[in-house]
């Protein structure tokens, strides 16, 4: 069986030990399977992405001993593709414009059936109200309706590290998949690119375990193959919280400058 996996960082800061763990886990899995390893730069957020962070990511990954195929896919160059994919979802009638402000969204949250968090489920505004708000140029987000998705595609199963499971399309509520002036979100771009790049195994942190349910919904709606998902543990800082880009001490840059070798990084991460 073909094995294609990827590491998909956002160039909004320096890589830290958590990224190194994710990249090495995917890289090791590709090597063990005799498969392919791809790198994808997820820079849809033009306001936060920086060329110097992208350069630093490539340098840090090469230092760790990783190699990848070129050209590297850069999401900022693919906005027209995402806009076309969004149009397909609009024509399927599974997305709606949500004009609610953040405060209004928070006020409309309901308890999730499966956990303590709260989720948003909404509905499109009445036609004339929508037309008026559009005419006024108001900002909106495109949300994927979990209920419409379920009605259109029925049940789907997929595989992650816990086994085979039925996708719960409501797992993230009616998720935002694009905005008025931004034809995509992480979810849509990532799903589309994984399919375009022929990714068979998505290996990433367990913070994205719930997102896989939404990703399976998008794949079913768009007629894309569903990869196998493998979520790995997160690397925590000394405070027990997951590492963030602002934790400079854990940046690979800093670690490397302090004299730690790539083998040393593997050791710190528990990767032999």
| Catalytic, out of 103, 180, 241, 245 | 245
Tell me whether residue 9 or residue 183 sits nearer to ligand GLU (CB atom).
9
C-alpha closest to that of 229 among 155, 159, 157 = 159
* Phi/psi at 119 (5° precision): -130, 160
Least distance (Å) from ligand GLU to the CB of residue 147? 25
Least distance (Å) from ligand GLU to the CB of residue 227? 11
Q: Do residues 16 and 61 touch, judged by C-beta distance below 8 A?
A: no
Least distance (Å) from ligand GLU to the CB of residue 190? 5
Tell me whether residue 42 or residue 168 sits nearer to ligand GLU (CB atom).
42
Joined together, the tokens standing for residue 102 give 């953040």
Joined together, the tokens standing for residue 257 give 């400058």
Binding site for ligand GLU (CB under 6 A): 8-10, 42, 190, 204, 208
Count other Cβ atoms within 10 Å, centred on residue 57: 23
Least distance (Å) from ligand GLU to the CB of residue 107? 28
- Provide the β-strand partners of residue 73: 40
Tell me whether residue 189 or residue 220 sits nearer to ligand GLU (CB atom).
189
Q: Check if 241 is active-site.
A: no
Least distance (Å) from ligand GLU to the CB of residue 12? 8
Q: Do residues 122 and 148 touch, judged by C-beta distance below 8 A?
A: no
Tell me whether residue 22 or residue 148 sits nearer to ligand GLU (CB atom).
22
Residue 76 neighbours by CB under 8 Å, 6+ apart: 41, 43, 44, 46, 49
Tell me whether residue 8 or residue 30 sits nearer to ligand GLU (CB atom).
8
Radius of gyration (Cα) for the chain, nearest Å? 20
Q: How far apart are CA 201 and CA 6, in angstroms?
A: 8
The sign one gets for the Cα dihedral 33, 209, 45, 253 is negative
Catalytic residues: 245
């Amino acid at each position: 069986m073909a094995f294609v996996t990827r590491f998909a960082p956002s160039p909004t800061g320096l890589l830290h030990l958590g990224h190194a763990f994710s990249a090495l886990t995917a890289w090791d899995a590709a090597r063990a399977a005799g498969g392919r390893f791809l790198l994808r730069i997820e820079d849809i957020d033009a306001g936060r992405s920086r060329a110097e962070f992208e350069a630093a990511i490539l340098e840090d990954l090469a230092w760790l001993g990783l190699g990848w195929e070129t050209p590297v896919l850069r999401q900022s160059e693919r906005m027209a593709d995402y806009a076309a994919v969004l149009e397909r979802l609009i024509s399927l009638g599974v997305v709606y414009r949500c004009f609610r402000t953040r405060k209004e969204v928070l006020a409309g949250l309901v308890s999730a059936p499966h956990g303590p968090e709260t989720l948003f489920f909404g509905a499109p505004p009445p036609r004339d109200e929508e037309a008026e708000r559009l005419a006024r140029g108001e900002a909106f987000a495109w949300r994927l309706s979990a209920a419409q998705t379920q009605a259109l595609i029925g049940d789907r199963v997929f595989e992650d590290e816990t086994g085979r499971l039925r996708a719960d399309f409501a797992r993230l509520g009616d998720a935002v998949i694009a905005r008025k002036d931004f034809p995509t979100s992480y979810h849509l771009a990532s799903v589309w690119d994984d399919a375009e790049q022929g990714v068979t195994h998505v290996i990433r942190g367990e913070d994205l375990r719930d997102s896989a349910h939404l990703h399976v919904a998008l794949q079913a709606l768009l007629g894309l193959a569903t990869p196998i998902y493998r979520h790995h543990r997160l690397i925590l800082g000394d405070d027990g919280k997951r590492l963030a880009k602002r934790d400079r001490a854990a940046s690979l840059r800093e670690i490397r400058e302090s004299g730690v070798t790539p083998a040393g990084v593997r050791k710190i991460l528990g990767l032999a």
